[in-house]
Amino acid sequence: MTWLAPFLLFAPTLFDQSVVRILQRNFPSAQFLLIDIDSREIIGARWWDSDRPIPLGSLTKPFLLTQRDDKTSCSPQQCWLPQGHGRIDYIEAIAQSCNSYFLQKVTGKVRYLDPPPSPTPEILIGLGTQWPISPIIIARAYATLARDPEATTTRAAMRAAARRGTAKLLGIDALAKTGTAPCRHKHKAPTDGYIAVLYPPETPKYVLLVQVHGVSGATAAKTAGAMLIVLRDGK
């Protein structure tokens, strides 16, 4: 598929159909996929080439198997945050998207996704462009994570991301992970922002994957938060 046009692809309920129409009308600048977690089907979307692999930045971090034995000191030289994150554990490393933690702790193993051909720590945590993944593949991986009984800690970390971490601009309780990646649009910007959200937080029903052109993942969270209000209220 080359273009997921703004029409309904799969609609288990009339509520979902109404939500998709509102999202398509009210957020013309955002590309998005809305996935039903139980069926893993697309409820609705607007995304150019959603099956074309692209860099997705830190959206890969929840799928990396890491050593979680103790806290690790974030090295500012390895991280996006100039002053570093201090001593940090796995939950805060996901919540704050700490590059340094994952560079030190990744084992090279990945769950729910096919690993890259050269699984260096830098590639695994989403730096650069050498591990492209299609939006539909990663959205379905998040759907798997939402139901995996062994991913309880990762889901707790994603909730922390929404409450106090890089996804806090959501402004609504959810499970989330942000990502920032090199822009792939015709009209280039420094970066594109991505966010994957599992909602509602207690027993997620939806994966909402959002891309906003020309911003960071943390900024894209604000758009996704407005979309979640539509998903919550149906209007």
Q: What is the CATH number of the domain that holds 228?
A: 3.40.710.10
Give the number of other Cβ atoms within 10 Å of residue 173's Cβ.
15
Total domains, the chain: 1
Is the predicted pLDDT of residue 38 greater than 80, yes or no? yes
Distance, in Å, from the CA atom of 173 to the CA atom of 123, rounded to the nearest integer, reads: 30
pLDDT tens for residues 8-24? 445 468 899 999 999 99
Distance from C-alpha of 155 to C-alpha of 159, rounded to nearest angstrom = 6
Q: Encoding tokens for residue 126? A: 């989403």
Burial 214-232 (b: 16+ CB within 10 A, else e): bbbbbbbbbbbbebbebbe
CA atoms of 24 and 109, how far apart (whole Å): 37
Q: Which residue has the tokens 């955002």?
A: 30
Convert the pLDDT of each residue in 69-127 to its tens digit: 889 999 999 999 999 999 999 999 999 999 999 999 999 999 999 999 999 999 999 99
Q: Among the ranges 43-47, 64-68, 93-97, which has the highest mean pLDDT value?
A: 93-97
Check whether 133 has a pLDDT greater than 50.
Answer: yes
**Phi then psi for 87, rounded to 5 degrees?**
-75, 130
**pTM metric for this prediction:** 0.93
Distance CA 93, CA 224 (A): 21
Nearest Cα to Cα of residue 191 among 108, 134, 99, 129? 129
Cα gap 20→44, rounded to integer Å: 6
Here the tokens at position 128 are: 């650069």
Residue 218, domain extent? 3-233
